Amino acid sequence: MKDLTPKTDIGLSCTMDENGCCIVPDQQNQLDWAYWDNQWAAGQTGWDIGYVAPALKDWFDSIEDKSLSVLIPGCGNAHEAEYLLSIGFTNITVIDIAPVAVRILKEKFSNQPNIQVIQGDFFEHEGAYDVIVEQTFFCAIDPLLRASYCEKMQKLLKPNGVLGGLLFDRKFEQGPPFGGCKCEYTPIFHKNGLEVLEMDITGGSIPERQGSELFFKAKSKN
């Protein structure tokens, strides 16, 4: 089977901070818009499985109110958004930092009024959402930013909003992706504004990732 785990040539050593996060010196500067744009331009998108992950599909199918506002950060090819549109969702926003990816998406969804495509930095995005979808975004950012990720999610969620999706339950020798485990993620979420509602190994992974992904839901603690 094809290994769908993205590979890069960035060799990294890893020590842990007080939150159990991997500390990678100067990594934040490397993982900027230019880095990801180069990945897209070179066709290095091994994280893209080509369709909505089964666990996410099952979750989306369970949501009755199709008018809920949905945000998908670090959306890539936005297979999740495409599926949400196909089952009747009407208020979807996707954001990606890579201009190449966004150009592709704007063409892909050019005739679709129920989706907004934004090129920009998630950490600077403003809005309020009922549902935020996590799929290979948390693992792609500098681990030093995980606390900031949680704080930003807390601000973007509406009072009854839910952040949900998939996280890797494994380590990587180099990244991105940057992995971890439930025992690392839960305290980071808790310390930075999010209450974890569930976080467990999912049976809804693609074969290449079976047993190594956690499906989770979280909400704002406020």
CATH of the domain at 179: 3.40.50.150
Contact 146, 200 (CB under 8 A): no
User: Does residue 177 lie in a domain region?
Assistant: yes
pLDDT digits (tens, 9 = 90+) for 173-184: 877 888 999 999
User: Does residue 82 lie in a domain region?
Assistant: yes
- What's the number of domains the chain is made of? 1
Least confident residue range of 27-31, 115-119, 146-150, 165-169:
27-31
User: Does residue 8 lie in a domain region?
Assistant: no
User: Does residue 77 lie in a domain region?
Assistant: yes
pTM confidence score:
0.83
User: Does residue 190 lie in a domain region?
Assistant: yes
pLDDT digits (tens, 9 = 90+) for 63-115: 999 999 999 999 988 999 999 999 999 999 999 988 888 999 999 999 999 99
Looking at every residue in the chain, the average pLDDT score rounds to 85
What b-and-e string marks burial along 46-58, b requiring 16 or more CB atoms within 10 Å of the CB? ebebeebbebbbe
User: Does residue 2 lie in a domain region?
Assistant: no
Residue 13 pLDDT: 35
Task: Find the domain containing 46 and state its range.
Answer: 15-220
Identify any residues that bridge with 70 across adjacent strands, giving them in sequence order. 92, 131
Residue 36: burial class (beta carbons within 10 Å; 0-12, 13-18, 19+): buried
User: Does residue 1 lie in a domain region?
Assistant: no
Residue 40 pLDDT: 62
43 against 9, higher pLDDT: 43
User: Does residue 145 lie in a domain region?
Assistant: yes
